[in-house]
Amino acid sequence: MATTGKDLSAYDKSGLPDTSAMRIGLVVSEWNAEITEALTAGAHATLLDCGLSEDRILRWNVPGSFELAFGCKRMIERERPDAVIAIGSVIRGETPHFDFVCSATAQGIKDLNLQQSVPVIFCVLTDDTLAQARDRSGGRHGNKGTEAAVAALKMAAL
């Protein structure tokens, strides 16, 4: 398992770029809100801890993870942030719907990274169970939102 032995919430601020002029966007899926709100809280707290002021953090909601790519694209066009974090959670069910949503979401965010000049960070949990999602959104493996915020700051500085 990729997160075994890794704390998703661990980071070293000394190695991060100056964030004082950055604007970071959060596009958050409303589906699986327990998980996406926990991921958002981790990302938001990390951005503040790394020096961003509250007014330099943008947040838009979209209905589900499938809609993240479009939400990120529109935020880039309208708000011109330095980076965007796409926050979502897809939990496997009894049908292949999980595979289609995960694949389309990952592909859409990848496409944005190739087509836009603003980095879009993939903070979408694709777990088999709710327990796994909880473990990665502030539970025993830390918070993927924290890791995504650090990645956003590093990519924004490129």
What are the tens digits of pLDDT across the range 105-131? 999 999 999 999 999 999 999 999 999
- How far apart CA 138 and CA 7 sit, in angstroms, is 10
pTM of the model: 0.95
Positive/negative CA dihedral, 14, 17, 18, 24: negative
Mean pLDDT (the chain, rounded): 95
In this prediction, residue 3 carries a pLDDT of 62
In this prediction, residue 7 carries a pLDDT of 87
% the chain with pLDDT above 70: 97
- How far apart CA 40 and CA 34 sit, in angstroms, is 10
Beta carbons of 60 and 71 less than 8 angstroms apart: yes
Domains (ranges, CATH) in the chain?
42-156 (3.40.50.960)
Residues with catalytic roles: 97
